[in-house]
Amino acid sequence: MDSFRLWLHGHGNGEAVFPLSLQEISLSKLDFSIVIERWADLLHGVLFTLALSATGIFFALVIGVVGVAMRRSGSRLVQVPVIMFVELIRNTPFLVQIFFLFFALPLIGIRLGPTVTAIIALAINGGAYSIEIIRGGVDSIPRGQVEAGAALGMSRRQIFSDIILIPALRSIYPALTSQFILLTLTSSVCSSISASELTHFAQRIESETFRSFEVYFTITGLYLLISWLIMAALSALGNRHFSYPNQ
Amino acid sequence: MKAANMPSEKQLSVSDNEVLIELKNINKWYGGFHALKDVDLTVRKGERIVLCGPSGSGKSTLIRCINHLEEIKDGSIRVAGKEIDKAAKSIEAVRREVGMVFQSFNLFPHLKVIDNCTLALRRVKGIERPEAEEIARKYLDRVHILEQADKHPAQLSGGQQQRVAIARALCMEPKVMLFDEPTSALDPEMVKEVLDTMIGLAEDGMTMICVTHEMGFARQVGHRVLFMADGEILEETTPSEFFKNPQHERAKAFLGEILAHH
């Protein structure tokens, strides 16, 4: 019971350990000028997060497509590494993955900067989930499509890339889009290795000014904006490539 | 022209031609189900064969073995002098000689009609796009659907889609065309346009194997009718003989069923 109370309330003898009680946050005391003063840092953070997410999404998509192609190959030797990769990534926390890349790899001589580490971590994490999503799309393609390609003399690889891939991506595009939005939001975890994305700047501004509410209120809005931008970009991409009429 | 004389005239015209397809002792199993039992089939250049029989008799399976969409347990398959073995290369080589039209069209939904036709030309034969499009236009024109070249399959009717599928197969300039119930999925009013296209092909001398229940078509263009049941070819004769004088009980029952509906 004691340990339960400790878990629930922390070490404060049963009292919650919030720094401020709710009454202390009143509109008259809010001061957003500090946020406005640091607009350049925040803009830098937004642009960096956008670039980080877009790069991560691009490579996640590449990993997803290549992974599914490997998964469909006839050889167990090619399939098994993909299955293991997906299992490993989907069943471990992202924070641990990024720490592993950033802190553990240097011990075996691979030293990566925070930005590169962040991109790799987002790409492999998003890629593992993409493999499973895209695989579902590929499975939904009627067998007749594959047979039509085969009957024309096309190879397995050509059938995958020219016949199956686009309809498969189209069928799971909404799920893939929400996975990529999740990737965008997960990029905030990269602040833990000081990649200079939006949350990193927010933490810095907050620690210098102690204006927690104003700072986090602002970046909440900014993340909403970033998500909308990414979603708009993905939907434009989808309209461009997947807008053919269907039966 | 006397209809009764047609089959023998047709038969005479191809009996000396080279052998295009030679199936020997084909056996195919689906688990414990013996789908094809020691089937032999020889098809000569220019010959038009109609395969019919009750559903589950193995007729679709048989033509799907010819281009290795179905793997056989034993037996040998030679198409245009090329033997199919386990190697992907030999399978792809045979498939280049064989065009196939499916019951459900199987057009690629994300590609325009013209691109459906040029895809294999570009990928398999390595022909550049302008030349591939020229070939595609020629065959789309031949099935009278050139004006739809820039549409997507979903914008066409079933009959139009099936004609595009025929054009797509013809683009590869195959030596033989396989038709797997090409009109079964069509609304009745669209059956004729597809059959007319196939009759046109027949008149141009295309070697064809058609799985179909269109007995009028069989009578008009077939050199031979093969009647299958339970994975065996029970009867093999000219269309007029088959309709006039079926030998096997199963064939009589089958014709009774089919003709009752026509």
Closest CA to B55 of B259, B261, B260, B258: B258
**Chain B positions in Cβ-Cβ contact with residue A167 (cut-off 8 Å):** 108-110
SS3 per-residue string spanning B61-102:
HHHHHHCCCCCCCEEEEEECCEECCCCHHHHHHHHHHEEEEC
- Residue A3 sits at the chain B interface (C-beta within 8 Å): no
Number of A:B CB contacts under 8 A?
76
Q: d(Cα B24, Cα B22) in Å, to the nearest integer? A: 6
Distance of CA B242 to the CA centre of its chain: 20
Measured between CA atoms, the residue of chain B closest to residue A242 is B110
Q: Residue B57: helix, strand or coil by DSSP?
A: coil
Using the Cβ of B106 and the Cβ atoms of chain A, whether some distance falls under 8 Å is answered with yes
Amino acid at A192: S
Please state the rounded mean pLDDT for residues A143-170: 95
* Mean per-residue pLDDT, A145-160: 95
Q: Cβ of B109 and A247 within 8 Å?
A: yes
**Smallest CA–CA distance from B118 into chain A, residue:** A152
Please calculate the CA angle A135-A138-A139 and round it to the nearest 5 degrees.
85
Looking at chain A, which residue has its C-alpha nearest residue B103?
A: A144
Mutate to test the interface with B, among A75, A138, A145, A152 (most CBs of B within 10 A): A152
Q: For residue A49, with 0-12 CB atoms within 10 Å meaning exposed, 13-18 middle and 19 or more buried, which class applies? A: buried
Residue B43's nearest CA partner among B175, B199, B187, B151 is B175
Nearest to B117 by CA among A121, A152, A135, A177: A152
Average of pLDDT values for A159-164? 96
Print burial letters for A61-72: b (CB count within 10 Å at least 16), e (below 16): bebbbebbbbbb
Tell me the C-alpha distance between A32 and B105, whole Å. 64
Considering CB atoms only, which of A153, A156, A247 is closest to B120?
A153
Q: From the CA of B169, how many Å to the nearest CA of chain A?
A: 7
Give every CB contact of residue B30 below 8 A, 6+ residues apart in sequence.
none
Give the integer Cα–Cα distance in Å for B252 and A42: 84
Top pLDDT among B7 and B42 is at B42
Here the ipTM equals 0.90
- The reply to whether B84 touches chain A by the CB within 8 Å rule is no
Task: Tell me, yes or no, if B229 comes closer than 8 A to chain A by beta carbon.
Answer: no
Give the one of A145, A156, A246 whose C-beta lies nearest to B106's C-beta.
Answer: A145
- DSSP for residue B24: E
As a whole number of angstroms, the distance between CA B76 and CA B233 comes to: 17
Q: pLDDT tens-digit profile of B167-195?
A: 999 999 999 999 999 999 999 889 999 99
pLDDT digits (tens, 9 = 90+) for B215-260: 889 999 999 999 999 999 999 999 989 988 888 889 989 988 887 7
**Mean pLDDT of the region A110-135:** 95
> Average pLDDT in the B122-131 region?
96
**Pairing label, strands B74-79, B19-30:** antiparallel
pTM: 0.86
- Residues in A closer than 8 angstroms to B69, CB to CB, are 147, 150-151
Any CB–CB contact under 8 A between B87 and chain A? no
CATH of A2-241, one of 1.10.3720.10, 1.10.1240.10, 3.40.50.720, 3.40.30.10: 1.10.3720.10
Supply B140's token pair: 């789309």
> Which burial class, exposed, middle or buried, applies to B19 when counting CB atoms under 10 A from its CB (0-12, 13-18, 19+)?
middle
Cα of B217 vs its chain's centroid, Å: 13
Report pLDDT digits (tens) over A10-26: 655 545 555 555 555 56
- Using the Cβ of A145 and the Cβ atoms of chain B, whether some distance falls under 8 Å is answered with yes
- pLDDT at position A209 is 87
Which of B71, B82, B107, B110 is most worth mutating to test chain A (most A CB atoms within 10 A of its CB)?
B110
First to last CA, chain B: 24
Q: Residue B22 in contact with residue B78, Cβ under 8 Å?
A: yes
- Ranges A109-113, A207-211, B142-146, most confident: B142-146
Residue of A150, A162, A246 lying closest to B95 (CB–CB) = A150
Identify the sign of the CA torsion B104, B108, B109, B111. Answer: negative
| Closest residue in chain A to residue B96, using alpha carbons only | A153
In chain B, residues with a C-beta closer than 8 Å to the C-beta of A138 are none
**C-beta separation of B224 from B44 below 8 A:** no
| pLDDT value of residue A82 | 97
Instruction: Reply yes or no on whether the pLDDT at A8 is more than 90.
Output: no
Instruction: Tell me the C-alpha distance between A105 and B177, whole Å.
Output: 59
B100 touches A at CB < 8 Å: yes
